[in-house]
A and B are shown apart, each in its own frame.
Chain A
Amino acid sequence: MHPAFSVIFFTVASGAGFGLFSLLFIADVFKLGGGFEREQLIIGGLMAMALVVFGLLSSTFHLANPKNAWRAFSRFRTSWLSREGVFAVLFMPLALVYLASIWFDAPLWLRETSGFLTAVLAWITVFSTGMIYACLKTIRQWNTPLVPANYLALGYASGSLLLLLGAVVSGLDTTPYIAMSALILSIAAVLKAIYYFWISSPGLGPTINTATGLTRAKVKLLDTGHTHGTFLTQEFGFQIARQKAGLLKIVVFVLGFALPGLMLVWVFNQQGGQVAAIVAVITGIVGAAVERWLFFAEARHVVNLYHGAQRC
């Protein structure tokens, strides 16, 4: 699949935003590390919402006809793309209710109920983002429950690193935040490793034989029938060299998980302080972006069987 930059930015930014908001709520409920001040909670919440909004706006850049984008909310009963849009938009007012109840010192039940509902909605939205890809039977590398699991784990991992930075800047006790980040980073790394292992074996999907129905003999493509590329080859023809993909997987694990993990140790030992937390956020998010690029680059659509591939 052709990796579209706007979609990579969208999924990484909105994933981090939804993750940050959910974890901010948890930090608020349990007053982790002494608990954030009122203003700090508001700033953190607004930053999370800004990440979500920027992500959603960037996602419209890959539309060829964005003037009809508003119609995307209409088919939430069948389409995961529509569901994602609906839930992302529902998230906003609920998140504002939560932040307002913090600002105006609303009764605790309102604050915690709205916060809980917002966190659940954030979870559902990121799950929907993953399901956009996971529901496609045409792409073996995506059609697995590991995909929404990866999207959620990486969103929460980026969010937890952002929250840790907030805790460091706010001068809270960072130990619970470090523990939370370490746990989520480990889960995300393990899930990603399982995913890479899973897609590395060819599976039993369609082949050039089932694609043409000529199942009794070897089949090979002689001619695609077009002189230059088509929409199909431009959208689905993207191929990445196995060696390059292997190298990028190392980059994903080093930048996305190992370096942020190392920075957690530094923050814990009070060696790096803010700098270590900032480095953790930057490497974590760059790692997530590389992971997302590779997620698209490695996906092989079955239509490639009509352009010469023997199996996908």
Chain B
Amino acid sequence: MRLGLVIDLDVCVGCHACAIACKEWNASGTTGPLSDYQPYGAEPSGVWFNRIRHYEMDEYPNNKTVNFPMSCNHCEDAECVTVCPTGASYKRAEDGIVLVDQDKCMGCNYCSWACPYGARELDRSSGTMKKCTLCVDRIYDMELPVEERQPSCVLTCPAHARMFGDFDDPDSAVSRTVRERGGFGLMPELNYNPTNQYLPPRSKPVIPIEAHPRGGLKESIKQFANKLVRR
């Protein structure tokens, strides 16, 4: 199995609900808490597994805002695991999920240096590295109904911009969607082989933006009269 996410950049509305749901679930999950520093102070900061950035592509009038959620890509060639000196970082053979053993991590930051996607964040309170677990404590929970055995971010997404599944199975929904929509991984030139795939924004006809022609004197009088008359 090779579990991962598909994120539809065409559909994502950039509401940050996935990040909030992620924080909510994982703050009490296996690698919790996700410490916050000065949450109500002047410089609020803290540990998040999922961050949403906002980009603009192309230029006016063809410009488009692209909302860009990012979490761990659970790479096939996860250098973060290779460089870890303590063996705290590991990639599970059975499903490809990359995890950090909080009892072994010494907080040297080296894995975060090796990660091009910024998926790893040091928790300054516990002194250990934390990262997306793909909600490993949710997706295998037999107490939950089958349809809820998915990562929190996927369940919560109001736009259905996120999918979860097995990329090793060519007939899984994620594999099919990636094939049909031309999904891609980020920074392929670094050869990390990220598992998570992104679906590109669809091309849409440009909405005409010519200004409406100004009416003459007759049009102005009509508008003025319309304002006065109550229908």
Residues of A at under 8 Å CB distance from B? 1, 62-69, 71-75, 78-82, 85, 132, 135-139, 205-206, 210-214, 217-232, 235-236, 301-303, 306
Contact = CB atoms under 8 A, between A and B. Distances in A.
B79 A75 contact: no
Q: For the complex, would chain A's binding face be called helix, strand, loop or mixed by DSSP majority?
A: mixed
Given A68-B104, A81-B85, A212-B66, A231 B115 contact: no
B186 A211 contact: yes
Given A68-B86, A136-B83, A221-B53, 15 more contacts: A68-B104, A71-B85, A79-B83, A79-B110, A136-B113, A137-B79, A211-B187, A213-B184, A218-B57, A218-B58, A218-B59, A221-B55, A230-B121, A231-B112, A302-B190
20 contacts: A64-B106, A68-B103, A72-B85, A79-B84, A79-B85, A81-B83, A82-B86, A138-B115, A138-B116, A210-B187, A212-B55, A212-B68, A218-B59, A219-B55, A222-B55, A229-B45, A231-B112, A232-B121, A302-B116, A306-B117
A63 B106 contact: yes
Contacts of B201: 214
B51 A225 contact: yes
Interface of B: 16, 19, 43-48, 51-59, 62, 65-66, 68, 70, 79, 82-88, 103-110, 112-118, 121-122, 124, 126-128, 184-191, 198, 200-201
B110 to A, nearest CB: 5
Nearest to A86: B85
Contacts of A66: 106-107
A248 to B, nearest CB: 22
Contacts of A67: 106
A80 B45 contact: no
A225 B22 CA distance: 15
A214 B55 contact: yes
Contacts of A75: 84-87
Contacts of B117: 303, 306
Nearest to A228: B43
Contact of A213 (B58, B115, B128, B200): B200
B107 A64 contact: yes
Contacts of B65: 222
A21 to B, nearest CB: 24
A73 B85 CA distance: 7
A69 B82 CA distance: 17
A109 B45 CA distance: 61
Contacts of A231: 45, 47, 112, 121-122, 124
A1 B127 CA distance: 19
A136 B83 CA distance: 9
A223 B54 contact: yes
Contact of B56 (A219, A230, A235): A219
Contacts of B112: 231-232, 235
A75 to B, nearest CB: 5
B84 A222 contact: no
Contacts of A301: 113, 116
Q: Point out which of A85, A222, A236 has the most chain B C-beta atoms below 10 A from its C-beta.
A: A222
Contacts of B58: 217-218
B128 A64 contact: yes
A217 B57 contact: yes
Given A206-B116, A217-B57, A72 B106 contact: yes
A80 B68 CA distance: 33
Contacts of A82: 85-86
Nearest to A232: B118
Contact of B45 (A79, A218, A230): A230
Contacts of A1: 113
B56 A74 contact: no
